[in-house]
């Protein structure tokens, strides 16, 4: 697996690296502490072109490859996983179905504005009794002569408190499959519910959303009736690879901070990094980080070449997220008591890393599906 980056990919990586160093890292701790949506940084990343990276030029995007996108995701997550979580939601799940199925009005007033960061989107999938099992979704869109009436309850909706629009997975009457609907957040009957307080990624605001007799015109059905599950599968591999890139970003941040500390912290007359016990920790972290990063880029390359990547995306997400939690834990141990102190970023990285275990499928679900892929 040869992953020599092109000059353009290196430039993109450097651009987002510099942005994170200048703009994100100095305020990441405060954003987490205040639990506020990073509106200014969000808009600046829109101006930088992050939200449009993965869309073709004719749709108002940059037409860049998946590898470039994942490199940008890694850098943003290295600065703040909260910011990265909100921005990847915007650049992928919240806007993809508008790009694929939205009419001219939706594309002009919502999709194109979202690519600029002027409007914020979110996707509503999870319900109180439907997480990994999406087919258990109970939200229903009942057909009428004029369109649909939407009723249901969603939870764990990233960016819901600040969203201008939602894409909603729902059942339609007399249909077993799921459909996708576009729903502006200011429509009557759309209710933003209680906020969900989280262990980590606390500046990525999350809440419940209820839909009470929300009247939707027919054109707000995105795609075909019952086509939602199939359409979601179109980007499922990319969602998983992107989640793996998020994991690599936060793991890199933890590794780098621990390395600086190990070279500066003096004990028994020398830096603690000179002690073999500490060196063994860094060797383990380095192997996990490099292996995970290379596999994620490999999976992204398969996307760019339009090769099968269902299994590869699951392997990438499973391995990278588990490595991220392990690396953040080991890095915090290097700092000993300071790794437990809010004064240092390691405490935040350790909390944030667990977020990557959930999105794109839990480790247990992925293991079961990987076993099926290899013929068991």
Could you tell me which residue, 4 or 300, shows the higher pLDDT? 300
Has residue 289 got a pLDDT over 90?
Answer: yes
- pLDDT for res 4: 87
The pLDDT mean for the chain works out to 96
pLDDT band at 135 (very low <50, low <70, confident <90, very high): confident
* Mean pLDDT of all residues in 147-166: 97
CATH 2.40.110.10 assigned to domain 121-225? The reply is: yes
First to last CA, the chain: 27
Angle at which helices 228-264 and 81-88 cross, to 10°:
160
* Mean pLDDT of all residues in 104-108: 97
- pLDDT for res 2: 54
Query: pTM of the full predicted structure?
Result: 0.96
Has residue 1 got a pLDDT over 80?
Answer: no
pLDDT band at 352 (very low <50, low <70, confident <90, very high): very high
Give the Å distances, CA to CA, from 324 to 127, 285, 291: 27, 9, 12
- Hey, what CATH topology would domain 7-116 get? Butyryl-Coa Dehydrogenase, subunit A; domain 1 (1.10.540)
Q: Classify residue 182 by burial, with Cβ atoms within 10 Å: 0-12, 13-18, 19+.
A: buried
- Domain-wise residue ranges, the chain: 7-116, 121-225, 229-373
Q: Would the CATH topology of 7-116 be identical to that of 121-225? A: no
pLDDT digits (tens, 9 = 90+) for 168-181: 999 997 777 899 99
- Which CATH architecture group holds 229-373? Up-down Bundle (1.20)
How does strand 190-195 pair with strand 140-143? unpaired
């Amino acid at each position: 697996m040869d992953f020599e980056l092109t000059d353009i990919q290196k430039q993109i990586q450097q651009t987002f690296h510099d942005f994170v160093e200048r703009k994100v890292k100095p305020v990441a701790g405060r954003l987490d502490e205040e639990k506020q949506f990073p509106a200014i940084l969000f808009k600046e990343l829109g101006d930088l072109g992050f939200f449009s990276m993965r869309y073709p030029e004719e749709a108002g995007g940059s037409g860049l490859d998946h590898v470039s996108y994942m490199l940008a995701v890694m850098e943003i997550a290295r600065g703040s996983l909260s910011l990265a979580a909100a921005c990847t939601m915007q650049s992928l799940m919240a806007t993809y179905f508008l790009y694929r199925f939205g009419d001219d009005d939706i594309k002009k007033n919502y999709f194109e504005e979202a690519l600029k960061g002027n409007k914020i989107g979110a996707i509503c999938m999870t319900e109180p009794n439907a997480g990994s099992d999406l087919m258990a979704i109970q939200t229903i869109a009942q057909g009428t002569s004029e369109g649909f009436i939407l009723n249901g309850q969603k939870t764990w909706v990233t960016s819901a408190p600040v969203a201008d629009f939602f894409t909603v997975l729902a059942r339609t009457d007399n249909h077993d499959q799921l459909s996708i609907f576009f729903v502006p957040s200011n429509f009557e009957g759309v209710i933003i519910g209680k906020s969900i307080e989280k262990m980590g990624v606390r500046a990525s605001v999350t809440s419940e959303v209820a839909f009470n007799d929300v009247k939707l015109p027919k054109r707000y059905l995105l795609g075909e009736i019952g086509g939602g599950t199939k359409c979601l599968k179109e980007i499922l591999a990319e969602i998983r690879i992107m989640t793996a890139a998020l994991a690599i970003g936060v793991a890199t941040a933890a590794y780098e901070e621990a390395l600086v500390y190990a070279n500066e912290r003096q004990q028994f007359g020398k830096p603690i990094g000179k002690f073999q016990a500490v060196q063994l920790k860094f060797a383990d972290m380095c192997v996990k980080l490099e292996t995970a990063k290379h596999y994620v880029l490999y999976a992204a390359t398969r996307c760019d070449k339009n090769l099968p990547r269902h299994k590869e995306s699951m392997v990438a997400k499973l391995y990278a997220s588990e490595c991220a939690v392990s690396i953040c834990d080991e890095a915090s141990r290097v700092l000993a008591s300071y790794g437990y102190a809010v004064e240092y970023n390691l405490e935040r990285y350790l909390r944030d890393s667990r977020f990557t275990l959930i999105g794109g499928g839990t480790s247990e679900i992925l293991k079961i599906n990987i076993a099926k892929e290899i013929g068991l």
